[in-house]
A and B are shown apart, each in its own frame.
Chain A
């Protein structure tokens, strides 16, 4: 069975304090790993798809990387508007996504 584990559960950062979120996964035949951002009371917002080990993608202050067993979401010099829950999901090759529980990031000014 596919398993996705995200750590830490919560992360409190000072504005400008860079950090990383971890997503470790167990899946047979990974077809893609996704990162989403979710604000309170809203649906997940698509950020990145990673397909193979060694791949990296960037968007503003966010950079996602992928290895064979885990993915990292690096937040560089975060701002308060980066506060959100970040969700990781795997696509094992069928139709659904299997999500982790998320990491809630709070950035204080």
Chain B
């Protein structure tokens, strides 16, 4: 399978704990995006990487959130001191075409904060 992969698929944690998610984009896609989706809503943009550079962060991304893409390949999203409001599906997408920006999504990581 050469699509976008995410790990883990599900994560249950207690409030206050730190969690880290991983995303492996489609090979040779230089653009990588993180979105968050809550029940009944569409995905909301969190952050964007072009190669290893993080070029934009949404105001949704509080100081407890940090994302990296150290070698321009896979990316990690860390949430520190999780809160119940962080419970959501975290989606990763990648693209290669800057003109049409067609983004291909992974299966997501479902986070539940107890």
Q: Are B101 and A44 in contact (CB under 8 A)?
A: no
A-B contact count (CB 8 A): 65
B56 touches which one: A32, A41, A96 (CB < 8 A)? A96
Which residue, A97, A98, A100, A101, has most C-beta atoms of chain B within 10 A?
Answer: A97
Q: For B102, what are the chain A residues with a Cβ–Cβ distance below 8 Å? A: 32, 34, 46, 49
Q: Are A96 and B45 in contact (CB under 8 A)?
A: yes
Assess whether B31 is interfacial by the CB under 8 Å rule.
yes
Q: For A102, what are the chain B residues with a Cβ–Cβ distance below 8 Å? A: 40-42
What size tier do the contact residues of chain A reach? Answer: 20 to 34
Which partner residue on chain B sits nearest A97 by CB separation? B103
What size tier do the contact residues of chain B reach? Answer: 20 to 34
Q: For B41, what are the chain A residues with a Cβ–Cβ distance below 8 Å? A: 101-102
A91 touches which one: B31, B93, B100 (CB < 8 A)? B100
Q: Are A95 and B48 in contact (CB under 8 A)?
A: yes
Cβ < 8 Å to A, chain B residues 50-107:
50, 55-56, 91, 93, 99-107
Q: For B105, what are the chain A residues with a Cβ–Cβ distance below 8 Å? A: 36, 43-46
Chain A residues at the B interface, C-beta cutoff of 8 Å: 4, 31-32, 34, 36, 41-46, 49, 51, 87, 89, 91, 94-102
